[in-house]
Structure 1
Amino acid sequence: MFKKAIVSCAALLLSAACAGPGPAGDAPDYPNDEIRLIVPYAAGGPTDIAGRAVARFLERDLGQPVVVENLLGASATTGTTELVQSKPDGYTIEMATTSPLVLVPQLQNLGYDKDSVATIGVSMQIASVLAVRADSPYRTAEEFFVAARQNPDRITVSLPGANTPQGIELRRLRDEHGVALSLVPFNGDAEAVATLLGGNSDAFFGSSGDVVMSRIRSGEFRALTVGSAQRLPYLPDTPTFTELGFAGLTLSTSTYGLVAPDGTPPEITKRLEEALRAALEDPAVREQIGAEYIPAQFIGAQDFRSLLDESWAIYEPILRR
């Protein structure tokens, strides 16, 4: 009887060992349930557009529903806090930006930072544009900045958030170049663009994604300057800040990418990385996001981690002034 019990117990242990870890750590079994994809900004902006385009592809590729949830607020830290506090099992991911991962944690004690997430890959990178309505009195960037110097803190600029790369860049414009604008932050580009469209701000400074580019192409908005180091191929006649004499203002490009909670098994993040790579090669996804915003070379988990580390090092001395 005792020997039989030992044999039975050994058989059970062998069976458990052969079965391996449960679903959370077993990549071949992942996913076997619905995936939640958090977007920490309002619907209609570039993060939301990218998140939904990628989610639709992931559903087909992974064979499970991917539900997009907009959890906005507090410079995108509301949604990111929800992510880092979630179980690291691959069933909660986020379409994040560098703002809540790199910028805000250096300005506020959030209980998390860039190292609280497992990187998956970059979905897009978008340079910034300063735009005004077509009926604005500022016909050129030069006229805009002359007026701003003459009227400090009077010209209002709607932003996708206070502690975004764009918000930090305009604070640098004030501190390093003496041009003080009145900054009005919102929960993402869509809200900020709508504010300018409604005539409730003088200008918009945010990502040059379709939410603003569609207005520029239609003639409703006029682009004054871009925040990239070089002129943009899709705005070839629009000068950079550097060309206008504002040296160093080249840090406002927004990076968007998928992340999971720290501690997510590497087999799962690898599976998601492979799915994201395939998504960004899909013609439908490229059309929805905008092929011009997708990096020519895929930026995977390791390079995305390096990008966050480098961004932290660049912004740290700026934010500690």
Structure 2
Amino acid sequence: MQRRDALRAAATAAALAALSFSAVAQEAFPARPLRIVVPFPAGGVVDVVARSVGQKLSEKYGQPVIVENRAGAGGSIGTDAVAKAAPDGYTMLMVGTGFTVLPQITKNLPWSPADFRGVLSIGSVPNIIVVPPETPVKTVGELIALARKSPQPLTYGSPGIGSSPHLSGELLAQMADVKMTHVPYKGQPEAMTDLLAGRISMMALSAALAGPHLKSGKLRAIGVTAGQRIVFHPEIPTVAESASLPAYDVRPWTGVFVPAKTPEEIVRRLAADMTEVLKHPDVKARMDTAGMELNPQPHVEFDAFIAAEGRRWAEVMRKAGITAQ
């Protein structure tokens, strides 16, 4: 009995010590500077979001939060750097839809979505499908009708295979069962030049990028890719509405990830603190300017969303005949 009591007491002491250590570790985090890796050049939507969130986190933590742009290979270079970082919460990845698409179209990626766990979904920047003003359509339904009777396939541009404008156009063609030709460009500026000149039929643009051209009349909006109308342009119907495609919904998202083995308590702490930061008026104002609709989604739900997105776009790429290169 004495030996059993001694063992029980020792086990209880060990459990209490473990709990105490966990609590202290959580209270101590963060004890040094943090890093948010953005695998794209500075100035894009993801970069703007990272800097806005990083600044407020720095104020909250009393520690520097450094945003590091590590662009290249469609986002793979920066993403791989975080996959190989210490799983301690001090190195985070802020990325977008390409995180679930790149594995479908790129062979021998040095990282996998399984190397990460989600911290928080930040929000989305819905695209607006636009056409040159001389195009004789005012709705996506009319665009589909034009595509069906046109002797040559309509064309849509994008800044590259797997980008959200590409996904928006490809999903529309598949769901409407029409033939459209994807024209990938080296980047957004080149695609915009041809769109404004009327050399391509249509393109899906972020609300922030499309806004000035809609106001000037250089482009016409015919549908929003999100499943519901967006707060920035509530007058524009959704593709689902205007084309009778109720399942059509494309929302380029932005979220935060950490290496897969990062402790649960640190993931929860980061998720809670970022959710609080996103409520700050300064951050909300910057998100509005970037055209982002905030929709913080906790890490468990975010991980489930990421898995579903991977399956969804894998199927779209398969139907399009796009295989890993």
Normalised to the residue count of structure 2, the TM-score between the two structures is 0.76
Deviation at 1:186, TM superposition (A): 5.1
Structure 1 residue 83, shift from structure 2 partner: 1.8
Secondary structure of 2:261 counterpart: coil
Q: Which amino acid aligns with 1:173?
A: L
2:138 to 131, 134, 140: 140
Q: Is the 8 A contact 1:42 1:191 kept in 2?
A: no
Q: Which amino acid aligns with 1:245?
A: A
1:172 corresponds in structure 2 to: 171
User: Partner residue of 1:284?
Assistant: 282
Q: What is the identity, as a one-letter code, of the residue corresponding to 2:214?
A: I
Q: Look up the match of 1:131.
A: 130
In structure 1, how many angstroms separate the alpha carbons of the residues matched to 2:134 and 2:39? Answer: 31
**What 5-or-longer segments of structure 2 have no aligned partner?**
1-16, 320-325
Moved more, 298-307 or 275-284: 298-307
Whole-Å Cα distance in 1 between the matches of residues 249 and 190 of structure 2? 20
What is the CA RMSD across the aligned residues, in angstroms? 3.4
Structure 1 pair 228–91 and aligned structure 2 pair: CA distance change class (3 A): same
Partner of 1:106: 104
Distance 1:191 1:61 in 2: 37
Aligned partner of 1:223 in structure 2 is 221
Task: Identify if the C-alpha distance between structure 1 residues 152 and 63 changes in structure 2 by more than 3 Å, giving closer, same or farther.
Answer: farther
**2:68 corresponds to 1:69:** yes
Matched with 2:11 is none
> C-alpha displacement at 1:310, in angstroms?
2.4
Q: Tell me whether 1:240 sits opposite 2:238 in the alignment.
A: yes
Shift of 1:200: 8.6
1:121-152 deviation digits (Å, cap 9, x = unpaired): 1111222211245x554562466556655264
- The residue aligned with 1:254 is 252
Residues 53-86 of structure 1: CA deviation (Å, up to 9, x unaligned): 1111111112222222223343333322222122
Q: Which amino acid aligns with 2:117?
A: A
Distance 1:156 1:166, change over 3 A: closer
- Residue identity matched to 1:264: T
Q: Deviations over 1:24-73 (max 9, x none)?
A: x9332322332221222333332122111111111111222222222334
Does 2:181 correspond to 1:181?
yes
Q: Structure 1's 151 and 234: CA in aligned 2 closer, same or farther, altered over 3 A?
A: farther
5+ residue gaps, structure 1: 1-16
Q: Give the drift of 1:87.
A: 2.1
AA aligned to 2:275 is: R
**Residues of 1 paired with 2:193 and 2:56: CA distance?**
32
1:46 aligns with 2:45: yes
Query: Where does residue 158 of structure 1 map in the other structure?
Result: 158
**Paired residue for 1:87?**
86
The 8 Å contact of residues 98 and 308 in structure 1, kept in 2 or not, is answered as no
Q: 1:91 deviation in Å?
A: 2.2
| Residue in structure 2 matching 1:305, options 299, 303, 306 | 303
Q: Distance in 2 between matches of 1:173 and 1:231?
A: 17
May I ask how many residue pairs the two structures share in their alignment? 296
**Is the contact between residue 35 and residue 64 of structure 1 (CA under 8 Å) also seen in structure 2?**
yes
TM normalised by structure 1 equals 0.77
Which moves more between the two structures, 170-179 or 62-71?
A: 170-179
SS, match of residue 33 in structure 1: coil
| Whole-angstrom CA distance in 1 between matches of 2:137 and 2:218 | 13
Q: CA deviation at 1:269?
A: 1.8
* CA apart distance, 1:304: 0.9
1:29 matched to 2:4: no
> CA offset at residue 219 of structure 1?
4.6
Q: Which amino acid aligns with 1:86?
A: A
Secondary structure in 1 aligned to 2:123? strand
Change (3 A) 1:147 1:118: same
Shift in CA distance, 279/38, structure 1 to aligned 2, threshold 3 Å = same
